[in-house]
Structure 1
Amino acid sequence: MRIVIAGGHGQIALRLERLLAARGDEAAGIIRRAEQADDLREAGAGPIVCDLESASVEEVAGHLEGADAAVFAAGAGPGSGVDRKFTVDRDAAILFADAAGRAGVRRFLAVSSMGADPEHPGDDVFDVYLRAKGEADAYIRAHKSLDWTILRPGMLTSDAGTGLVRLEAHTGRGMIPRDDVAAVLAELVDTPATAGLVLEVISGSTPISVAVKSIAGN
């Protein structure tokens, strides 16, 4: 499979790229800065330099041509201001979804956030982030050209992954290593029966492959 990942230099994305490359898939990561390319190559992924805040749908669709799946894992980051919550966390996700649809890439995964809600109140940066993510999720969910799955992790940590998770429509709050989020994404890419689901994931007691197969069968 060829999988194109938006936000290819992010902490979850780099982990996902390593997993995909290790199992023989062709991973490509979209990055904003050319100097990030070597990190992607080390992870086994092909770098694509493209700024999703300024690119056109046609340009991004060209990078997605021939892909079997697309993963939106980009984010403005914790140090960014209000404006980039909209231009990256919302608008870039919408652009990437539209580009995937135009390129004929049906399988689409999006990394969102617990609490994402287009009606989330408040003007603090984190409130705006949750609202921007919620608006992006709502757009993706209404997209007729995509077999989408939205993943909403709990609080992210840099601990080593355990391979054990709780994956449900609603898990409640909790923490999860980025290693395990990446492993869940890798499993979801291969599980189209999860299309149309919004899933929360935190650390738990169920092996990732079992958790994904279980939710796909519900």
Structure 2
Amino acid sequence: MRTVIAGGHGQIALRLERQLAARGDEVAGLVRNPEHAEDLRAAGAEPVVCDLESASVEEVAAHLEGADAVVFAAGAGPGSGAARKETVDRAAAVLFADAAERAGVRRYIIVSSMGADASLTEPPEGMDPVFATYQRAKGEADDAVRARDGLDWTVLRPGRLTNEPGTGKVLLGERTGRAEVTREDVAAVLGALLHAPGTAGLTLELINGSTPVEEAVGAVAGA
């Protein structure tokens, strides 16, 4: 199985690349900075230099030719302003979906955010305005992906991310409640989702829990 990951140098993406390579899958990661290429090679992934903020649909689609699945794991990242939440978290996700359709890649998984909401026009009391823009951008990206008949999409919305060691056990479902989840466990769930076609068409929340990853993914795939 060949998977192409947008945001290939991100913390979740690098973990996913290592996991996919370890099980014998072929994996490539799109990166904006060519200096990150060696980190991807060390993770077992093929680096592909491509800036989703400036590339055309045709350019990105060319990088996706021959892939069995794609994962959008890109993000503007902490410290970025509202403008990049729009250009990366929303627009790049939509561009990546356009490119997947053009390349004939049906399986599309997007890493979203718990609480993502396209209707969030004003920040709730106490919420940072830039974070509100992020949540809206993520919600708009999710909606744009879910509207497509040409993709077998899954939207994954993790809780608060941590760098603690993976537990291998999660709570995965339509509604989980808010809690933490390790990036290692998010990557493990993404890897399992790639091989679980029964999860297409689902929007899932994810936190750490008590169910082994493969069992948790199998449960939602068969629900």
Structure 1 CA distance for aligned equivalents of residues 39 and 133 of structure 2: 30
Structure 2 CA distance for aligned equivalents of residues 142 and 3 of structure 1: 22
Aligned 1:57-76 pairs, distance under 5 A: 57-76=57-76
Structure 2 CA distance for aligned equivalents of residues 48 and 115 of structure 1: 31
Counterpart of 1:209 in structure 2 is: 214
Q: Given the alignment, which residue of 169, 172, 188 partners 1:164?
A: 169
User: Is 2:159 the counterpart of 1:146?
Assistant: no
Normalising by structure 2, we get a TM-score of: 0.97
User: Is 2:196 the counterpart of 1:199?
Assistant: no
SS in 2 for 1:117: coil
Counterpart of 1:94 in structure 2 is: 94
Counterpart of 2:126 in structure 1 is: none
Structure 2 CA distance for aligned equivalents of residues 122 and 183 of structure 1: 34
The Cα of 1:144 is off from its aligned counterpart by 1.2
Structure 2 CA distance for aligned equivalents of residues 167 and 120 of structure 1: 24
The letter of the residue matching 1:32 is R
Q: Given the alignment, which residue of 134, 146, 151 partners 2:139?
A: 134
What percentage of residue pairs aligned between the two structures are identical?
68
Structure 1 CA distance for aligned equivalents of residues 139 and 58 of structure 2: 25
Counterpart of 1:31 in structure 2 is: 31
SS in 1 for 2:87: helix
The letter of the residue matching 1:127 is A
Alignment gaps of 5+ in structure 2: 124-128
Structure 2 CA distance for aligned equivalents of residues 170 and 57 of structure 1: 34
Counterpart of 1:22 in structure 2 is: 22
The letter of the residue matching 1:208 is V
The Cα of 1:36 is off from its aligned counterpart by 0.2
The Cα of 1:121 is off from its aligned counterpart by 3.1
Structure 1 CA distance for aligned equivalents of residues 195 and 146 of structure 2: 19
When the two chains are superposed, the root-mean-square deviation of aligned CA atoms in Å is 0.5
Aligned 1:98-109 pairs, distance under 5 A: 98-109=98-109
Q: Given the alignment, which residue of 179, 187, 193 partners 1:182?
A: 187
The Cα of 1:120 is off from its aligned counterpart by 1.1
Counterpart of 1:7 in structure 2 is: 7
Counterpart of 1:111 in structure 2 is: 111
Structure 2 CA distance for aligned equivalents of residues 158 and 121 of structure 1: 31
Structure 1 CA distance for aligned equivalents of residues 197 and 47 of structure 2: 26
After superposing on structure 2, the runs of 4+ consecutive aligned residues of structure 1 that deviate more than 6 Å are none
The letter of the residue matching 2:204 is L
The Cα of 1:33 is off from its aligned counterpart by 0.6
Structure 2 CA distance for aligned equivalents of residues 136 and 15 of structure 1: 23
The letter of the residue matching 1:149 is T
Structure 2 CA distance for aligned equivalents of residues 118 and 36 of structure 1: 32
CA deviation digits over 1:16-56, x for unaligned, max 9?
Answer: 00000000001100000100000000000000000000000
Moved more, 60-69 or 113-122: 113-122
Q: Given the alignment, which residue of 165, 173, 178 partners 2:178?
A: 173
